[in-house]
Chains A and B, each alone.
Chain A
Amino acid sequence: MTKNNPSTKKTKTKSGHEKHRERLRSRRRITHREAVKAAARLRTDEHGKRYVIRFSLSERVEHILLMISFTVLGMTGLMQRYAGTAVGDFLLSMIGGIEITRQLHHIFALMFFLEAIYHFGAFIYGLFVYKRWGKIWPTFDDFRHFWEMMLLNLGISKKHPNFGRFTFEEKIEYWALIWGVLVMGITGVMQWFPVFTTQWLPGSTIPVARALHSLEAVLAVLAILIWHLYHTLIKTINKSIFTGVMTEEEMLKEHPTELKYLKQAAAALDRQKQQNQIEEEKNMDVE
């Protein structure tokens, strides 16, 4: 256990402030249920190779739905944005015209919308039933990681930040997507039903919605193409969103803090089990 713990090696160089923070973080208390869940994510395959469950089946399905709908929406949407140019008109005629492209856009918008509703519903359910907040929320550590990453990339420091469940790069991606879903969803519905919209809002909101939808689409597509694909396909080929698993080596490289947490949780669970056994034996002896 201690072997994998990077903190033992680096204690010498740490300042008092950092030590204090480290202690606070390491003293985190988790519920028994959380520990069971965490321990269950540590697996060993038939060759004795250890791996970690990273995404649940529903999360993987969500990603596939999102991937398909986003791709179709992005393509059909940008074609409409660039209708009137030679390339835009050519692609639109390949699909079968601008009206069919709009129908496709609406159908996949519905798929995207339902996916977003499911995702939000699943979060609310987890929050109220299991008190599960998730680990995607931005934390102070993310800013620290970003700073460390910049120092590393500029060659000023040699220390690689120890990422947790989600790296700040993944969090940027996620929250950009949430922002995108909100903007695109609201402005999209406004344009889809302009008569309904103008019963509640001033008419001048429609051109605003149209401009927002169109510009945010360019931003979103470029962000996916550049940011997301660099981090998942070019930097390393990360297939965990499809397979749902990550090997221990990969975890150590990319999410060491998360791996540490899982192992500590499993160890704590073991300790508790042993304690319980001892107590049971004591009770048996008493009887």
Chain B
Amino acid sequence: MRKSTARLLALLSLIGAVLLLRSPAALAQATPTSTAVSSPNPALTPTPTQLSATESEEHGDTNCLMCHFDPDFTGHPEDGSTVSLYIEPGVFYRSVHAEAGLECLACHVDQKGYPHQASGQVTCQDCHEDLDTTQDAQYRPISVELNYADKRSITLALNENCRACHEENFEESVDSAHVRVQVGGNRNAPVCVDCHGSHDITSPNEPRIKISQTCATCHLAVYSTYQASIHGTALETDSNPDVPACVDCHGVHNVRGPRDVDFHNDMIAVCGGCHADEDRMEKYEISTNVFDTYLDDFHGRTVNFFRNTDNNIPSNKATCFDCHGIHNIRPADDPSSTVYPHNLQATCQQCHADAGIAFPQAWLSHYVPTWEDTPALFAVNTIYSYMIPGVIGSFLVYIGLDARRRLSNHRRSSKQQYLELELGEERTESTDDKE
């Protein structure tokens, strides 16, 4: 009985609270928050900048959109260019942030108060200039001066606000090639919103092809090479989940490239991660011996040593992509592959400048030696696998017999050379006992 009464009371109080906070902003706030709480990823739940109930009442989306729903709303940074300040509401409401219950002020933390009193950019006259003078007040598109050097400055300044919720990913990106370029002075180096989008932010890997297409925004030439590769084709046409998209090799937030000293050596683990994985390779009938046979040879042993000991020294020996190609990687039976028999000599010549026509055969193409393919190598391995134990074993037998005879001879000869020693009282006592 008590339980049901408590439930009834709770229900009543809930209805009461809803009725009290009936303002539309509060309603808009209430529904998405409940979904955010139930969302499986707590990292995405915005706690620090989430608006308090009173703030959202005053400055909810509705208020922002009073101006920002106008397609002609523009701003002018200090360089005189024109920036559209129009927000298409539907775009934002479809984004993951809206799903998580975030509103404008969650990211635009400085724009508190109406109209942006903190920055003091907007005055009444900006919109209602003609209101006093004439009755037939004409509509005039709002245009404001912005306290930023240019459009990019706005993006870069606002990008810092991503850190508040996405601390881990943000910190990870600090070591990335993109941030290094940015620190080097290139303001166009991508920041969070350049890849993820700003108001239209959605899951970055759904569908998976979206990853590569995002990178293609800037790296178009590389992307078109990748599209034609075995990995790219499988991703584009079959949306194959097994093939790598850009980030699978280069990393996501800590994106790395060939200018990173450890990238070259680490590639063996990146390629090996999939190509030595039997479950993944079984479907495509690709040998998983590639990794071990590589590590067993001159190039692989060297690269692996550098990787294991001091990875900050790049090795000058070939790693996977030096032979197989980078973004243009194709199967070995494709005539345009760098490892197609006819192209091998040119591939080897990248490092071995004078390599002749017979040189590529010095590498067994990841094959484990067999009697059919490489009889000489197979014979050497087999003969020595018997010869080493055979020779060393017979040496040991001979030495064992020889040592045994010498030791027994020594014992026999030393028997005749016993000398008597006087060892004091203990010795005499024991002889007394015997008598």
Query: B-contacting residues of A (Cβ < 8 Å)?
Result: 80, 83-84, 89, 92-93, 97-99, 149-150, 152-155, 191, 194-195, 198-199, 201-208, 210-212, 215-216, 218-219, 222-223, 226-227, 230, 234-235
Contacts and interface: CB of A to CB of B under 8 A. Distances in A.
Interface of B: 295, 298, 301-302, 304-306, 308-310, 313, 352, 354-356, 358-364, 369, 374, 376-377, 380-381, 384, 387-388, 391-392, 395-396, 398-399, 401-406
B305 A153 contact: no
A154 B395 contact: no
A223 B392 contact: yes
Contacts of A212: 380, 384
A158 to B, nearest CB: 11
A201 B358 CA distance: 8
A245 B364 CA distance: 52
Nearest to B348: A195
B169 to A, nearest CB: 34
Nearest to B383: A215
Given A89-B305, A153-B402, A207-B374, A194 B391 contact: no
A211 to B, nearest CB: 5
A204 B354 contact: no
Given A194-B352, A211-B381, A219-B392, A203 B405 contact: no
A169 B302 CA distance: 39
B305 A203 contact: no
Contacts of B403: 230, 234-235
A98 B359 contact: no
A84 B395 contact: no
Given A89-B305, A204-B374, A208-B374, 20 more contacts: A84-B301, A84-B308, A92-B309, A93-B309, A97-B310, A97-B313, A98-B306, A149-B402, A150-B401, A195-B355, A198-B358, A205-B376, A208-B376, A211-B380, A215-B381, A215-B384, A218-B388, A219-B387, A219-B392, A226-B392
Contacts, number: 118
B26 to A, nearest CB: 64
A92 B358 contact: no
13 contacts: A98-B301, A149-B402, A150-B401, A195-B355, A201-B358, A204-B362, A204-B374, A207-B377, A208-B374, A210-B298, A219-B392, A226-B392, A226-B396
Question: Which of the listed residues B360, B364, B398, B406 has the most CB atoms from chain A within 10 Å of its own CB?
Answer: B398
| Residues of A contacting B: mostly | helix
Nearest to B355: A195
B361 A203 contact: yes
A102 to B, nearest CB: 9
Nearest to B359: A198
A208 B377 contact: yes
A242 B95 CA distance: 86
A222 B359 CA distance: 33
Contacts of A80: 301
Contacts of A216: 384
Contacts of A235: 402-403, 406
A84 B305 CA distance: 6
B399 A230 contact: yes
Question: Which of the listed residues B302, B352, B377 has the most CB atoms from chain A within 10 Å of its own CB?
Answer: B377
Contacts of A206: 361-362
Given A154-B401, A218-B388, A207 B364 contact: yes
A53 B306 CA distance: 52
A272 B301 CA distance: 68
Given A203-B361, A226-B395, A211 B377 contact: yes
Contacts of B404: 153
Nearest to B374: A204
A207 B299 CA distance: 13
A227 B399 contact: yes
A195 B353 CA distance: 9
A208 B308 CA distance: 27
A221 to B, nearest CB: 10
B318 to A, nearest CB: 13
Contacts of A195: 352, 354-356, 359
A14 to B, nearest CB: 24
A100 B209 CA distance: 45
Contacts of A97: 305-306, 309-310, 313
B358 A226 contact: no
Contacts of B362: 194, 198, 203-207
